[in-house]
Structure 1
Amino acid sequence: MVVIRLSRGGSKARPFFNIVVTDKRTRRDGRFIERVGFYNPLARGGEESIRIEQDRLTYWRGVGAQASPTVERLVQQAAKKAAAPAAV
């Protein structure tokens, strides 16, 4: 089964996560099919904390990929953040 999940990067105590499409059987930081975004939980000030390529995410969901609960939460958070500047 194909899943959309986080892959950890960064150094010790400075996490950085890539949002990747991968086979469920591969290890967390192992081989992946495609990188569709990133999440930086330590972003400060004007730094971008999350970026998701919505077209690729929609494609992978359309062909049956399942997103992890954390990725689902991040997608909703990114959508809310993208809608806020448009309303202003």
Structure 2
Amino acid sequence: MKRTGAKNDASFRVVAADARSPRDGKNLETLGWYKPTCKDKMFDLNMERIEYWVSVGAQVSDTVASLMRKTRKAAAAAASAVPVVATADAN
């Protein structure tokens, strides 16, 4: 995670980076963002690209793993929600 934002108002970019590069140094790819200072702790992740990087050997941080669990849980809840379909009577 690469720190961005102002003093006392941190936000982070979720990035794929070489382990030898500094925290805010060059990254291979930006994979999402996270704003922990908001009331709802807003975030957005590109799960397809994160799964790709994990498949080629990348290690995710504890925070990113937690955000991934929340994303999967929200996607499962959205998929299991039964849509209400209004039907018209044929009278």
- TM-score bin (small chain): 0.7 to 0.9
- Residue 77 of structure 2 is aligned to residue 77 of structure 1: no
Q: For the residues of structure 2 that align with 1:50 and 1:7, how far apart are their CA atoms?
A: 14
Please point out which of 57, 63, 66 is paired with 2:50: 57
Length-normalised TM-score, structure 2 = 0.78
What do you get for the CA RMSD once the two structures are aligned?
A: 1.7
Percent identical among aligned pairs is: 37
TM superposition shift of 1:42: 2.6
Give the strand-richer structure, 1 or 2.
Answer: 1
The size of the alignment, in residue pairs, is 81
TM superposition shift of 1:68: 1.2
Q: Which stretches of structure 1, 4 residues or more, deviate above 2 A after TM superposition?
A: 42-45, 81-88
Query: More relative contact order in 1 or in 2 (CA 8 Å, sep 6+)?
Result: 1
TM superposition shift of 1:82: 2.6
Long gaps (5+) in structure 1: 1-5
Long gaps (5+) in structure 2: 82-91
Considering only CA atoms, is the larger Rg found in Structure 1 or Structure 2?
2
